[in-house]
Structure 1
Amino acid sequence: MKRLKFFLIAVYIFLGSAGFSQTTRIPLSEKSLVKDSAGLVYTYENWSSLVKTGEYKLVKSKTGTDEYLIIGRESATDNDNQKIYGNSSGNFVGKKIKFPYMTDLQGRDYWNDILKNKIVVLNFWFVKCPPCKAEIPLLNELYWKYKEEDKVVFIAVCLDNVGTISEFMKTTPFIYPQIPSGRDIAMKFNVVAYPTNLIIDKGVVKYGTTGFSKKNIEKAETVLKECL
């Protein structure tokens, strides 16, 4: 009789807790708050498009509210990435480069004399490039980690004009300093595929990668640490 009593109590507790969970659960929707690990808030259009790439997923926040964290899934292998984007990134490594004159959206100027002794984290992208957009959260994380380092300069060269970039930034935060209308600059670096990311230390390319892969950004950070 005691066993039956305990069993009925256990069933009651389980059903009660299940009912509570069901009534308090908030489904993921356009009103859900989605952030990346740097705390940047993503619009519904932005986070849903990233999730559709298969490279990102949403994890429920521990705050107990309708809040989620967008994180990267395991990315494509280097072999898969090469089939899509080729191996042009390998042609960069070891080369000495001279930085052209560049001006970002805030009117800040960059040229060889001020960059030649820096560690430059350089990104090439354009607005309608899905893999470029997919890697933005990872690049934002990298920026936040090292933006206080005096030796490190982050620059993103975008092929699009000021108006297109500004409109894009309204819904998609990309916090690298942005160089607009950068097609000529990309040509000077022999960039033929996007996104391309370079780590340049004192004018020498230490790491170059083309195409989106979480491993690419992780490797870039490893090389960046080695340069510091």
Structure 2
Amino acid sequence: MKVKCKIFFLFLFSIVFISCNSEMKYGTPNIDVTTLNTNFFKWYNYQHESVVLSSEFVPLNNKGSIVDEGTFLKMLTTGKFIPIKLKNTSNSKTYYQLFNTTNDTIQSYMSRLAEIRLNYFLMENTPFPDFSFTDINGRTYTKASLKGKTIFFKTWFIGCKPCVEEFPILNQLVKNHEGKRDTVFISLALDTKEKLTAFLAEKPFEYIVIPKQKTFIKEQLKTSTYPTHILVDKNGTIKKVVNNIEELPIDVSNLEEVKNNKEEEKLPPPPPPAEGLKS
């Protein structure tokens, strides 16, 4: 009887050990997940500071197994999970693993953030829609005329505070590419030509400005989040879609300096509005 008990406990121990070893295979959470789940603001600040879903990372499901990025994001849209960065000293890769959450507020916000990122992920590596834009100065740009050029698109509107606050950074980005005729910067705005002209006289913006693009943004790009930045390569293929310009795979020299000079003090970001990041 004693021998059988010993065998049973050894068997049980081996199962627990193998299970724990599997979960910890790629590292351990860089924060206490239980504490994070008890406070929405702690979670949101952590999400903002430590998790960049638009970057390159190794996706792990809630069992600690590697999955494809699409599956990872779809699981996040359920609101049942939050992504946690793992501490891993064995290599330079970034690992995000899904952990369960039962916090209703966190579930709601995480679901919305994940839906946005999944939409962007599905846009990437697809052709940018055909277009013919006329800017506020009367110049026309088409997909055919810009073939062979790298294009930075930005969606925005005058009443969007985050859209306007990033003007200095974007102006510096344009300056960084001075003389590069194979790079174009185009902003798709919701407002009329008249309103934009008056507004930009006070707030200079170096991007090409295209007025009244609500229909194109909604029906062709199928996004309602502002600002949105879309990087299109020389073949007309969407390479990256993000809300933060600094998350694009580009030369960001001088951008951080401009950002720091603009900010008088750095405070934790406020949570997104109840409707997510929509206009």
TM range (shorter): 0.5 to 0.7
TM-score with structure 1 length normalisation?
A: 0.57
Which of 154, 163, 166 matches 1:132?
Answer: 163
| Other structure's SS at 1:169 match | helix
Taking CA–CA contacts closer than 8 Å with sequence separation of 6 or more, which of the two structures ends up with the larger relative contact order? Answer: 1
Runs of 4+ that moved beyond 6 A: none
2:239 aligned residue = 206
| Cα deviation, residue 137, structure 1 | 1.1
Contact 2:229 2:245 in 1 (8 A): no
The aligned runs of 1:117-156 (5 Å cut-off) are: 117-156=148-187
Letter matched to residue 77 of structure 1? E
In angstroms, what is the RMSD of aligned CA positions?
2.6
CA shift for structure 1 position 196:
0.5
Establish whether residue 98 from structure 1 lines up as the match of residue 132 from structure 2. Answer: no
What TM-score, normalized by structure 2, do the two folds share? 0.47
Tell whether the 8 Å contact from 1:140 to 1:176 is kept in structure 2 after alignment.
Answer: yes
SS in 1 for 2:144: helix
Q: Secondary structure at the match of 1:95?
A: coil
Q: Of 115, 139, 147, which residue of structure 2 is paired with 1:116?
A: 147
Structure 1: gaps spanning 5 or more residues: 1-75, 224-228
Deviation per CA, 1:161-195: give whole Å up to 9, x if none.
01111121122111101000111221212222110
- What's the secondary structure of 1:185's corresponding residue? helix
- State the alpha-carbon separation in 2 of the partners of residues 192 and 166 from structure 1: 23
How does 1:3-152 map onto structure 2 within 5 Å? 76-77=48-49, 79=51, 83=110, 86-87=116-117, 88-152=119-183
C-alpha contact 1:90 1:209 (8 A) present in aligned 2: no
In the alignment, is the contact (CA less than 8 A) between 1:198 and 1:209 conserved in 2? yes
Q: Note the C-alpha offset of 1:78.
A: 6.6
Structure 2 unaligned runs (5+)?
A: 1-47, 54-108, 253-279
Identity of aligned residues (%): 25
For the pair 1:163 / 2:194, whether they are aligned, the reply is: yes
Q: Following TM superposition, by how much is the alpha carbon of 1:220 offset from its aligned partner in structure 2, in angstroms?
A: 4.2
**Structure 2 CA distance for partners of 1:116 and 1:99, relative to 1, 3 Å:** farther
**2-structure distance, mates of 1:129, 1:78:** 25
Q: C-alpha deviations, 1:4-28, integer Å up to 9, x for none? A: xxxxxxxxxxxxxxxxxxxxxxxxx
Is 174-183 or 80-89 further displaced after alignment? 80-89
Distance, in Å, in 2 between the alignment partners of 1:220 and 1:139 is 15
CA distance in 2 between counterparts of 1:108 and 1:220 reads 29
Secondary structure at 1:114 match in 2: coil
Q: How many equivalent pairs are there?
A: 145
Deviations 1:25-58 (A, max 9, x none): xxxxxxxxxxxxxxxxxxxxxxxxxxxxxxxxxx
Partner of residue 221, structure 1: 250
For the 8 Å contact 1:93–1:208, the answer to whether it is kept is yes
Provide the C-alpha distance between the structure 1 equivalents of 2:239 and 2:166, rounded to a whole number of angstroms. 20
